[in-house]
Structure 1
Amino acid sequence: MSLREKFWEKYPFDKLTAGEWEALCDGCGKCCLNKLEDEDSGVVVFTRVACRLLDDETCRCSQYEIRRQFVPECIVLTPKTLPDVSYFMPYSCAYRRLHEGRGLADWHPLVSGDPESVHKAGISMQGQTVPEFEVPEEEWEHYLIEEQL
């Protein structure tokens, strides 16, 4: 996969190649966590309860290309959908950070050059999740996490 140098600083989302768009994902796994949203305030909180397709070791979707066949409600993030769903993404997410004009964090693999840097920095959910089938939805509130900024 050929990536243009510092493409995230030079081009708007709609001018990125498919490979560049995918490379923005830091591999933290947080977008694959089940979330709870307060109906009154709209505040979204993250749980350690992971989507059935999240690989807890790699923090990647185990069926990424066909994930919607298994999880129809999975959000497909695109430059068009990002403005509507960015509030639902983790604060540390590269897509959200760039959408909000905050740039990439120094632990992001595109900046560090190390695909493991997100795990080494303690940003990812590696080894910290529980599968959604093991926890009844009414108990998810017992698995809340505080997102690292």
Structure 2
Amino acid sequence: MRPNFWSRFALSELNHSEWEALCDGCGSCCLIKYIDEDENGDVDEELVEYTDVTCQLMDCTTGYCQHYDTRQEHVPDCIQLTMDNLPQMMWLPSHCAYKRLYKGQNLPSWHLLLTQDAVVTQQQMRAANVGVAGRCVSETGMSDEAMEERVISWVKLDNTESY
């Protein structure tokens, strides 16, 4: 990867490994969410509701996908974030590096690309109340009605908090 690629190049100029390195591994995008669109098909971020229910591939203890590289083989409708679909995905959490860089903001101070230390990053993410590890449940065997009762407020969509 090129040094400081996130601050030197546009998102569209990143290679695959650089793009993947932007992911902080929080797992929030893997949570089941209720996304309402207006009559034009646009998503109002304020109306997005996250649940603490996650994809069947998520390890709820670690907060990591158990089959990340082959996730679409297991879950065909798993979203693969790309530069092309990023503008339609502003429902991502406010700490998301992809969303932040797209909006011209800096990486969160705890991001692995800045700390260069996975333990420090994980500790600082927990301190910032970021990530699904230890606080999600699998969708496996859960009814739609039960999921609707599990809406949470700890995933922040706006930038009222600084990271």
TM-score by length of 1: 0.87
> Which residue matches 1:51?
55
Which residues of 2 match residues 21-40 of structure 1 at below 5 A?
Answer: 21-38=19-36
Structure 1 residue 82 corresponds to structure 2 residue 86: yes
Name stretches of at least 5 consecutive residues in structure 1 with no aligned partner: none
Partner amino acid for 2:151?
L
Name stretches of at least 5 consecutive residues in structure 2 with no aligned partner: none
Shift of 1:134: 4.0
Equivalent in 73, 77, 102 of residue 73 of structure 1 = 77
Partner amino acid for 2:70?
I
Q: Distance in 1 between matches of 2:109 and 2:77?
A: 32
Equivalent in 103, 108, 125 of residue 105 of structure 1 = 108
Corresponding residue pairs, total: 146
What whole-Å deviation, never above 9, does each CA across 1:113-147 have from its counterpart, x for those lacking one?
12234431221111111000143111223222221
Q: Distance in 1 between matches of 2:115 and 2:50?
A: 26
Pick closer, same or farther for the CA change 1:23–1:114 going to 2, 3 Å.
same
- Percent identity, please: 39
TM-score by length of 2: 0.81
Partner amino acid for 1:49?
V
CA contact (8 A) 1:36 1:45 kept: yes
Pick closer, same or farther for the CA change 1:145–1:119 going to 2, 3 Å.
farther
Q: Distance in 2 between matches of 1:118 and 1:125?
A: 14
Shift of 1:38: 3.7
Deviates further, 128-137 or 18-27: 128-137
Aligned structure 1 segments of 4 or more residues deviating by more than 6 angstroms: none
Deviates further, 130-139 or 112-121: 112-121
Q: Distance in 2 between matches of 1:4 and 1:107?
A: 20
What whole-Å deviation, never above 9, does each CA across 1:53-111 have from its counterpart, x for those lacking one?
112233222112221122121111111111122x2312211111111111101011111
Deviates further, 99-108 or 130-139: 130-139
Structure 1 residue 127 corresponds to structure 2 residue 125: no
CA contact (8 A) 1:28 1:119 kept: no
Alignment root-mean-square deviation, CA = 1.8
CA contact (8 A) 1:27 1:118 kept: no
